[in-house]
Structures are given as structure tokens and as C-alpha cells.
Chains A and B, each alone.
Chain A
Amino acid sequence: MLNLLLLLGAFSGPVLGVLRGSPRSSSYVSTAFTILAAICGLLLSFNILSAGGKGSTTTLSLKAPNLIPWINFSFFLDGLAAFFLLIISLLALATAIYSMGYNKEFYGRNVGVLGLCMNLFILSMIGVVSADNALVFLIFWEMMTLASYFLVVYEYEKVESVRAGLIYIVMAHAGTAFIVAAFLFLYKWYGSFDFAVLRASVANLSGIPKDLLFVLFLLGFGVKAGIVPLHIWLPKAHPAAPSSASALMSGVMIKVAIYGLVRMVMDLLGGGRVALLLPGGATATDGGSLWWGVVVLAVASASAVLGVLYALVEHDLKRLLAYHSVENIGIILMGVGASMVFSSMGESGPARVALVAGLFHTLNHSIFKGLLFLGAGSVVFVTHIKNIEELGGLIKKMPWTALCFLVGAVSISGLPPFNGFVSEWLTFQGLLMGFGVTEGGMRVFLPVVAVVLGFSSALAASCFVKAFGMTFLALPRSEHARHAVEAPLSMRLGMGMLTALCLLLGVMPQYMLGLVDGAASTVLHTRAPFGNSYDWLTLVPLTPGGASALSGFSPQWVFLLLLAFTGGLLLVMGIPYRRAILGETWGCGIPALVPRMEYTATAFSKPFMIIFRDLYRTTEDMEKIASPAPLQPHFTRIRSYEVSVVRIFERYFYEPLVQVVMAISNKMQILQSGSIHLYLLYIFFTLIALILWTKYR
């Protein structure tokens, strides 16, 4: 009963979102409701998760028999849904606190609409994860797309926002079409939209129809999650929205797509159902096939590497972060894909470890990506600059924002002692466990995926050295950056909350991992519970047989060691540079260091551009000035240097596709004369044709 109340509380978001009144009051009212909803959501998800995800679930059934007789508006929260509700609520809480200050940016506009869209957006995401019925799921899914679309085009006078919005909404609907198709197939075969009914029925399905459903779901949710090559909307749409919305889109919305994928493919289609081992080594699976997991792993590897490679040459702070979302979705899907592989082979232990790794990284990525977007938002809020080439030196003006951003940057690079490391470590374990339980080609494939994970996280570290260094360190490169001030308290609080969580989940992940384990077990339906899991001091994801390549790791010991050494060092050597002589940075003998002499972001990423030139297909554009006669031509001076990168998926896949679509539309224009009589005639003929078709079919 308490759970029900809390669920209703969580849905209370959009009430009073729009207020005609002062922008301040409408901003405060909408954020207050978000905070209320988020707290209800947090309590509810903890209620369900702490009970192990299994025993306590919440069902809410609203029937509207007179209005729409065949739909049962039912909601259901099991461990998995509760876990995603936790993610949504957590981020909603942080962004709501942050928005109280951040919304000042938009006081000249209609802040009420921003608040309404944000709250509708949060509500629809809660709806998606708690839906127990395909139609309800789709309704909220669509609502989520529309609410976020309005957030993307919130600054509608900017051409790029509108363009980004267009690409976003077209891609999102193409994705939704695949999901709708999958549900329609299911409805046609089993006559129901209820997940419970479908789950029971699909078990009998096998072969090509099941594979078809998998492909449809993967494509449909893949668009929203931003997997390569369906990611092109993501780096455009996420940066265009206000930063609080970007944090929710990158931090949460793409995770809702992961929820969809896990729910539909692993739970509904049984891709996560652990196969039974028959005598003689054969497996009887009513779940997924091995190749599903392999496809997911391949897509994940491509997303992880390409996402970060494009981020490396990106100098728009928010777009850089958006590309990192593509990378991290790849890392999440590595865990999920490995889990699918193991499930189809009947290995419950490794399947569980891999899924826990994937889900835990989902949570961690929400936290640090939300944090980074909020940090970027603060920078833009203060300086109105997104290009990191024009920033710099902000650490002295905005020390708190800089510290928060640094923690986010370290976490997303997967470095200890922060949360990103724990989930990447678990993903490594999950992937390498495969060696003990698989055969032949898979034994090569899984370690290679693990190495790809190592590669992408090393590249991410490079990228964040650049992003943090160019934005916050050295000298300011523009007038705006020089006059920056620290962000307001509420914004710092929102960021600070997520920063603390990054450290907390990196040092004490065991409690949360226990909850994640409960969420994973609701999907896997493992028959043999996975023993020796996560005690409070050490993480040892050992399979009972102990046959796999495994090891333990104790975040607490490592953290204590770090603390002890730091303390010891401070004791012995004191505060660094306390008695130092101040001097200038050496500028090769030129008297004063000016920002022009600093290394730039373009220069920083130049080695990568040269090494990966076949991927980037860079073109350079230099404007040269002729020097006076005796120096010419040996001392040409360069006034401007521009380097551009060709995004191969857009150039070689989407642009031709758009051209084809446009050509067909041009041909179709013949039908569109503008005369209403003609249109009526079309309708009439279509009607006749349909009647005849149903009659003589």
C-alpha cells in the first residue's frame, strides 16, 4: 500500500508545471514537484530493491472499460524496473536542485514550459519502466520522445537546435516504428499486449520469428540508446537542450532504452533465461540464441571505440560529452551482451556477474554523465561558451565546479577510486569469465572485447585530460572566460550530490551491488543462485567451480591505502609548495606568457587525428599571409587553421538515404495537388479498395 502511494507520488511530477506568473515562482513550483516525485521514487525503489527484488513487487491497475475497453492500464514494478526507477529518481533529484539556480538563465523566456516539459519527461520515463503492458509502454515511450523533443528545441530561435530536433524526432520515430512492429507481431500471434501473457507465450516461440523480434527490438531500442551506427542524432540533440535536460537525456533517457532492451530481449523473449544443460552437453533453451549476445557484443565494441574516437576530436564541450554517452552505452552493452551469451549456454554464474556489471555501469554512467553535463551547464551558464578552445583558467574562478567536473572526468575514465572503475572492473571480470565456460571462437572473442574495453577507457582518459585541461586549467583564452564567476549554490549542490555518489559508489559499492544483483536476478530467472558474491570488504565474483579467470578486488583496502599514503606524505613533506617562490611559466624567453602561447585542444588531439586519419578523413584549411619580400616563401605566416572531420556514417549512409527519400517524395508530389476534392476522391477509392480486400481476401 505504501508502495502504491509512493508510485502515485512519483507520478505527481507534472502537476502545476505551468504557472502563469513570475518565472521565479513557476521555476520553484515545478522543481519542488520534481523533488517530491523523485523522493517518492527513491523510497519506492529502495523498498522494492532491498527486499531482494523478488518478493515485493508493486502492481497498479487502472481500467477504463468505457473509454478504451481493450487496454488494461497496468503498472508493475519488479526488481529491474525498480532499479531503473532508482536511476531516474536520483538524477531527477539532482537536476531539480540544480535547476533552481540554472533556470535563471531562461527567466526571459517561458520557464513554466521548461518545467512542464522536464516534469513530463521524468514522468514518461517512470511510466516506461513501470508499464506492464505493451500499449502503455508505447504511450509513455512516445511521450518521452515528444517531451524530450520539446526540450531539444526549447531555444527554438537557434537554427541548430531546430535542425537537431528534426533529426532527433525522425530518428526516434524510425526506432519506435521497429518497436511497434515487434509488439504488433506479438499481438498478432498471441492476442495480448500484457507482458505477463506475452512472457508465458513467447517461451514456445523459436526459430526465425523469435530472431526477427530480437532484431526489431535491438534496432528500435538501439536508436534511442545511441548505438553505432544509429547514434547520429545523439551528439546533435543532447547538446542543443538546456543542460539540465541534457543531463537527463544523456544520463537517464538512453538508459531507459537499455531498460527496454533488457526487459524485452532478456526477460520477455527469454534472452536472459539460463538454458538448461541436457545430458550429453546439449542445451535446451527456451530463451535466446548464442548469436544474439554475439551481435550485442559486436555492436557494443563498435560503439565504445567509435564513440570515444569521435569525442576526441570534438571541441564543443556538450557534444564531446554526448559522444561519450555513445561510448558508455557500448560499455553497458558489453556487460549485457556477455550476459546473453552466457545465459544461452546455461552458465548462470557468469551471466549474473556480467549483467550486474552492465546494470551497475548503467547507474554509474547516469551519475557521472549527469554530473558532467551539469558541470558543462555551469560553465555555459557563466561564460555562454561551449567551445573549449575559448575557455580555460576556470579552476580559479569556479573552484567547486572544477572539482566536481574533475571527479566526473576521472570517474568516466574508469579510474580508481571512483565508481566507473568498479563497474568497468566487473565488466572485465564478466567478459574474462567466458574463457572457462566457452569453446573455440568465443574464447578468442571475449578477451578481445575485454581488450577493446581497455582501449576505449584509455582513450576516454585522454579525452578527459583534454576536456578538463582546456576548460579549467591554464590561462583563460577569451574575455568571457576571464570574467567567469562561480555558479550559484543550488547548482553546486546538485553537482555536489552526484560527486559524492561517484566517490561513495567507488569506495563502498557492495551495498548497491547487492541491490543490483536483486535487479539482475529478476531478469535471469537463475535456478542456481550465485553464492559467494559481494561481501562488505571484497568483491569476489567467483563462480562456485572457480574454473574461470577471476580475481578479487577490495575497494575499501585500496581507498584506505591511498588515504594512509596521502596522509603520511602530507605529514612528512607538508603542504606542497607552501614555501615556494612564485615565478612565471617559462615561455621560451618571451617575457610574458599569453593565452595564445598555450597548447590548444586541436593541438592536443592532433596525434589522434594523424593516427586515425583514415577514420576521420580530416581536411585542413589554412589561411596564409605572405611575408615581406626577403622572407617569402620560407616564412609564410598562418593566420587561421581549421581542421574538419568527416563523420563517415552521416556522409556515406545517412546522406544518400536522405537523398533517396527526398527523390521519392518529389515523385510523390504529383499526388499532392492541393485540391481538396481530389483528396476526398483518394479517400473514397482507398475505402472501396479496403472493403473489397477484406471481402475477397
Chain B
Amino acid sequence: MISPGYSIHLVCLLLGALLLQGFIKKMKARLQGRQGPGLLQPCYDLSKLLKKDSVLSEHASWVFRFAPYGVFVFTLTAALFVPLYVPLTPMTYAGDCILVVYLLGMARFLQAIAALDTGSAFGGMGSSREMTISSFVEPALFMALFTVGIQVGSLNLSEMVLRVSKDGAGYLSLFNILLGISFFVVLIAETGRIPVDNPATHLELTMIHEAMILEYSGRALALIEWSKALKQFIFFALLVNLFLPVPVSRGEAVPLYSLGVFFLKLMVLGYIIAWVETLNAKLRLFRIPNLLLLSLCGSFLALLSIIFVR
């Protein structure tokens, strides 16, 4: 398990997540005509938070205290199953896409109960909304992943990426583009971006994720922010690897070429996200299920066409 390739994988994961966060913020600022913070700002924020004291609500129990650790551990474990610049990952054959989705589900479960723990109405609000949205995200996500898995013949993410990158441009049929768009909608919902949630808001009545973590401070907050960035990185990596195929090497050593290609793809997607966030307003909470239903239908159409058109 401890080989240079894997350590680079881990570093790429932990730092890449923060850099991606910074990149999107920067792009968003640029698109809105602002200068924006530097690329490394999330890293600075994190190191600042790690040094700070924390305030703990007197009503909170151990659930609140340990939840950030749990959220981080489950998210990081899930991330180890997701291929980044090479199809193989440190844990390739120990799990598949269902496991990844459910590990992230466990992280969300912990976050949601921790939000209820302090007795704050905002926590409850965030928790309720997060769980509502996730109930609609999950079927859409599964439909998209299963449709890819069915074409590839495996639910293992590495196998999927391997097949997709081998097929290259040939993989980009019309229905896989449709599938990619559906997955993009899921990505927006899962990463809490506009129009589903606004990561920059502290407006009491519209926030979802921010409402859940309102009572956190110091190190715990740092871990939660980091997990959120990691989760975003996971979904970005999935999308670019499954729907923007570029032939990559399988090699064990660090292939600089594929690393570069991978980050280039992430940047393209990050720019698109910044663009979507700039051009759209947040949706009403009760319109979000419609959006996700649309994504589900897109994936379902792709499934139908794979079965009946091919």
C-alpha cells in the first residue's frame, strides 16, 4: 500500500481538493469582474482554522464532537476508491461505485445528525433540506453510474475509467453526452453549488450546507471544510474521468502527462461550474426535485437507448 505512486495519489487528493476549490472561487470572481482571492486561499483558511480555538455548544453531545472526524474519515475513504490521473487507485479492488456512494452517504448522515445536536433551528433546517435533496440526488446518481456500469460490464470505478479511456472519443456517443449532462446536474447538487445551494451564502433562510455547520468552529470546522472540498473533488474526478475520456497510461510510476491532462480537465470543468454559478440564480427548494428528476430522466433515456438503439 505504501508505494510512491499511492502517496502521490493521496497528496494529489488532499491538496488537489483545496486547489480546485480555490480555482473555482478565482474563476467565479473573474467572471463577476472581481479580482478574487488567490489560488491558495483555501489552504490559508484551513491552516488558520486548524490553529484556532473552538467554541463548543453546551447543549451538544459526543455526536456533535466526533461527527467532523467521522465525516472526514468516511469522505477520505470514499475518495481512495475514485480514480484520479490513472485508472488504478490505492483501493481499486476493495470496492465499487455503490460503496463510494454509500460511504459518502454515511458522511452525510453523520453531518445531518450533528446538525440537530446543538438544538439550533438552523441546524435542523439545514439537516432537513440536505437530507431531502440527497434523497433525490441518490437515485439520479445511481441511474447515471449504473448506465455507465452496464456499458462497461462492471461497477468498479477503475474498470469503468479504464474502458472509457480505452474507447476514447468513440465512447462519446450522443447518449453518453446526455448521460454526462445528467451527471453534471448530480454534481451540482452533490457539491452544493448554485442553483441548488449557494456555497457563499450566510443568508439564514436559503442556506443548506452552511446551516448544518453553523455551530462548528476551529479544527472541527477545518475538517468539515476539507471534507467538503474532498467530496467536490471526488465528483469532479468522476465526471472528467467517465465523461471526458482522454487516453491515459496505466503505468505504476507517476505519469506526468496524464497528471497534467487530468488537472487540465478539472480546470475546464471548474470554469464551467463558475460560469453556471455566475449565470444562474438559486432555485427554490421545491424546484430542486424537478431538476434532479430531469437528470434521472436523462440517464434513463441513455439507458433505454443503450439497450434498444445499439
Contacts and interface: CB of A to CB of B under 8 A. Distances in A.
Given A462-B135, A473-B117, A551-B154, A432 B149 contact: yes
Interface string B88-118: 0001011111110111011011001100111
Contact of A551 (B70, B141, B156): B156
Contacts of A586: 120, 122, 214-215
A404 to B, nearest CB: 14
A561 B304 contact: no
B134 interface: yes
Nearest to A425: B98
Contacts of A583: 55-58
B191 to A, nearest CB: 17
B285 interface: yes
Contacts of A581: 53-56
Given A415-B105, A416-B103, A551 B307 contact: no
B80 interface: yes
Given A474-B118, A561-B80, A421 B220 contact: no
Interface in B155-201: 155-156, 159
B153 interface: yes
Contacts of A428: 98, 155
A585 B120 contact: yes
A604 interface: yes
Interface string A450-487: 11101101110110111011100111000000000000
B63 interface: yes
A554 interface: yes
A20 B71 CA distance: 55
B54 A557 contact: no
B127 interface: yes
Interface residues of A, number: 82
Given A593-B119, A611-B289, A454 B109 contact: no
A415 B102 CA distance: 6
Interface in A559-610: 561-562, 565-566, 569-570, 573, 576-577, 579-587, 593, 595, 597-600, 603-608, 610
B271 interface: no
Nearest to A447: B146
B66 A599 contact: no
A464 B109 CA distance: 9
Contacts, number: 255
B303 A469 contact: no
A582 to B, nearest CB: 5
B18 interface: no
B146 A599 contact: no
Nearest to A612: B289
A395 B63 contact: yes
B7 interface: no
A432 B143 CA distance: 11
A658 B1 CA distance: 66
Contacts of B137: 458
A292 B125 CA distance: 44
B128 to A, nearest CB: 4
A538 interface: yes
Interface stretch (A172-180, A331-339, A373-381, A542-550): A542-550
How extensive is the interface on chain B, given as a class? 35 or more
Contacts of A550: 153-155
A461 to B, nearest CB: 5
A558 interface: yes
A459 B98 contact: no
Contacts of A416: 99, 102-103, 106
Given A475-B119, A580-B55, A593-B119, A435 B150 contact: yes
Nearest to B214: A586
B257 interface: no
A79 interface: no
Contacts of B129: 607
B109 A451 contact: no
Contact of B109 (A410, A444, A548, A587): A410
B47 interface: no
A587 B120 CA distance: 7
Nearest to A574: B219
B91 A557 contact: yes
Nearest to B95: A553
Residue picked from A440, A562, A580, A584, most chain B C-beta under 10 Å = A580
Interface in B16-64: 53-63
B128 A599 contact: yes
Nearest to A565: B73
Nearest to B304: A444
A144 to B, nearest CB: 35
A552 interface: yes
A454 B117 contact: no
B83 interface: no
B247 interface: no
B87 interface: no
Contacts of A444: 303-304, 307
A414 interface: yes
Contacts of B123: 599
Contact of A582 (B56, B70, B153, B296): B56
Contact of A599 (B60, B116, B132): B116
B153 A469 contact: no
B116 A469 contact: yes
B298 interface: no
B243 interface: no
Contacts of A579: 53-54
A124 interface: no
Nearest to A421: B102
B249 to A, nearest CB: 23
A414 B103 CA distance: 10
Contacts of A604: 124, 127-128
A413 interface: yes
A462 B105 CA distance: 10
Contacts of A474: 59, 116-119
Contact of B131 (A414, A447, A454, A462): A462
Given A416-B99, A597-B119, A604-B127, A557 B94 contact: yes
Contact of B94 (A470, A554, A565): A554
A469 B127 contact: yes
A606 B128 contact: yes
Contact of B69 (A549, A553, A570): A570
A587 B220 CA distance: 21
A565 B70 CA distance: 9
A558 B95 contact: yes
Given A451-B143, A549-B149, A598 B124 contact: yes
B61 A396 contact: yes
B8 interface: no
A435 B143 CA distance: 14
A419 to B, nearest CB: 13
Contacts of A163: none
B68 interface: yes
Interface in A381-439: 395-396, 406, 410, 413-416, 421, 425, 428-429, 432, 435-436
B99 A585 contact: no
Given A425-B98, A554-B93, A576-B220, 6 more contacts: A414-B102, A415-B102, A455-B139, A569-B73, A584-B58, A599-B124
List the 7 closest A-B pairs by CB distance, nearest first: A599-B124, A469-B116, A551-B96, A474-B119, A462-B131, A458-B138, A580-B56
30 contacts: A395-B63, A414-B102, A415-B106, A416-B106, A432-B155, A443-B307, A452-B139, A454-B139, A458-B139, A465-B112, A475-B119, A538-B93, A549-B150, A549-B155, A550-B155, A551-B154, A558-B94, A561-B77, A561-B80, A561-B91, A562-B77, A569-B69, A580-B55, A581-B54, A585-B58, A597-B119, A597-B121, A599-B116, A599-B123, A611-B289
Interface of A: 395-396, 406, 410, 413-416, 421, 425, 428-429, 432, 435-436, 440, 443-444, 447-448, 450-452, 454-455, 457-459, 461-462, 464-466, 468-470, 473-475, 538, 547-554, 557-558, 561-562, 565-566, 569-570, 573, 576-577, 579-587, 593, 595, 597-600, 603-608, 610-611
